[in-house]
Amino acid sequence: MKYRNYSAFNVASYLDQAASRSPSAVALCEDDQHQLTFAELDERVTALSEQFVNTVKLRPGDRVALFASNRISYIEVMLACWRANLVVVPINFQLHPEEVDYIVNDSGAKLCLAAGEALANLNDTAKKHGTRCVYASIDDPESWSEADSQHSDGGDSDLAWLFYTSGTTGKPKGVMISHENLRQMVLNYFTNIEQINGDDSIQHYGPLSHASGFYVLPHLMRGATNVVVKQLSPTIDTILMLAEQFGPVTFFMAPTSLQRLVADIPQPLDTNLIRTIATGGGTLHVPLARRIDHLLPGKLAQVYGQGESPMTISVMPADELRQAAQRGDDSQLRSVGRAFSGIEVSLRDEKGGFVEGGAVGEIVVRGPTVMKGYWQRPEATEKAIRDGWLYTGDIGSFDEQGYLTLLDRSKDVVISGGMNIYSREIEDLLMDHPAVHEVAIVGVPDPEWGEAVVACIALVPSGQACDEDLDALCLQHLARFKRPKRYVYFESLPKNNYGKILSASCGKRRS
Q: Give the CATH number of the domain where residue 425 resides.
A: 3.30.300.30
What are the residues facing 204 on neighbouring strands? 228
**How far is 430 from 441, CA to CA, in rounded Å?**
10
pLDDT confidence of residue 510: 47
Q: Which residue has the higher pLDDT, 256 or 127?
A: 127
Is residue 291 one of the residues assigned to a domain?
Answer: no
What is the pLDDT at residue 507?
63
pLDDT value of residue 256: 78
The boundaries of the domain holding residue 419 are: 413-508
The residue out of 178, 203, 219 marking a domain boundary is 178
Say what angle helices 117-129 and 97-107 make with each other, to 10 degrees. 60
- Answer positive or negative: Cα dihedral of 131, 377, 187, 70: negative
132 CB-side CA count, 13 A = 9
pLDDT at 85 over 60: yes
Residues 6+ apart with CB under 8 A from 377: 173, 174
Span 128-141, pLDDT tens digits? 888 889 999 999 99
In a domain, 58, yes or no: yes
Average pLDDT over residues 89-115: 94
Closest to 301 measured CA to CA, from 45, 228, 451, 293: 293
Using DSSP bridges, classify how beta strands 201-204 and 249-252 pair: parallel, antiparallel or unpaired: parallel
Percent with pLDDT over 70 in the chain: 92
Q: What would the mean pLDDT of 21-31 be, rounded to a whole number?
A: 96
421-438 pLDDT tens trace: 877 678 878 888 888 888
CA-to-CA distance for 289 and 403, rounded, in angstroms?
16
Give the model's confidence band at 511: pLDDT under 50 very low, under 70 low, under 90 confident, else very high.
very low
| pLDDT at res. 239 | 96
- Is the pLDDT higher at 298 or at 415? 298
Q: Given this model, what pLDDT does residue 267 score?
A: 94
Using the 3D structure, point to which of 147, 178, 209 is the last residue of a domain. Answer: 178
Report the alpha-carbon distance of residue 236 to residue 274 in Å, rounded. 10
d(Cα 321, Cα 7) in Å, to the nearest integer? 39
pTM of the model: 0.84
Range in 99-113, 298-312, 442-456 the model is least confident about: 442-456
- Tell me the C-alpha to C-alpha distance, in Å, between residue 260 and each of 233, 249, 291, 467: 8, 19, 12, 29
- Tally of domains in the chain: 2
Q: Which of 221-225, 284-288, 301-305, 347-351 has the lowest mean pLDDT?
A: 284-288
Question: Does a structural domain hold residue 270?
Answer: no
Would residue 87 count as lying in a domain? yes
Distance between alpha carbon 332 and the CA centroid of its chain, in Å? 25
Mean pLDDT of 307-324: 95
332-359 pLDDT, tens digit per residue, is 998 999 999 999 999 998 888 988 877 8
Can you tell me the distance from the alpha carbon of 353 to that of 344, in angstroms, rounded to the nearest whole number?
A: 16
**434 lies in some domain:** yes
Mean pLDDT of the 44-59 span: 96
Supply the CATH number for residue 122's domain.
3.40.50.980
What is the pLDDT, as a whole number, of residue 408? 64
Radius of gyration for the alpha carbons in the chain, expressed in angstroms and rounded: 23
Cβ-based burial of 395 (10 A; exposed 0-12, middle 13-18, buried ≥19): middle
Residues 460-476: tens digit of each pLDDT: 888 887 889 999 999 99
pLDDT above 80 for 283: no
As a residue count, the chain comes to 511
Residues 163-185, mean pLDDT to the nearest whole number: 85
Cβ atoms of 210 and 90 closer than 8 Å = yes
In angstroms, the Cα distances linking 55 to 88, 141, 147, 312 are: 18, 10, 9, 37
Beta bridge partners of 362: 348, 395
Per residue in 368-402, pLDDT tens? 999 999 999 999 999 999 999 999 988 889 999 99
Kindly state whether residue 287 falls inside one of the protein's structural domains.
no
Q: What is the mean pLDDT of residues 37-43?
A: 98
- Report pLDDT for 151: 58
**What is the rounded average pLDDT for all residues in the chain?**
89
Write down which residue in 178, 213, 242 finishes a domain. Answer: 178
DSSP state of 469: H
Predicted local distance difference test score (pLDDT) of residue 154: 58
Sheet-wide strand order for 26-30 = 33-37, 26-30, 225-228, 201-204, 249-252, 274-279, 300-306, 309-316, 338-339
- Flag whether pLDDT at 10 surpasses 60: yes
Residue 231 has pLDDT above 80, yes or no: no
**pLDDT tens per residue, range 238-258:** 999 999 999 999 999 988 789
pLDDT tens profile 109-120: 999 999 988 898
CA-nearest of 156, 103, 89 to 131 is 103
Q: Which of 20-29, 120-129, 185-194, 371-380 comes out lowest in average pLDDT?
A: 120-129
pLDDT for the residue numbered 495: 66
At residue 225, what are phi and psi to the nearest 5 degrees? -95, 130
Q: Within a domain: residue 104?
A: yes
Is a pLDDT exceeding 80 seen at residue 59? yes
Q: Is residue 321 part of a domain?
A: no
In 3-state terms, what secondary structure has residue 444? strand
d(CA 317, CA 302): 7
pLDDT at 136: 95
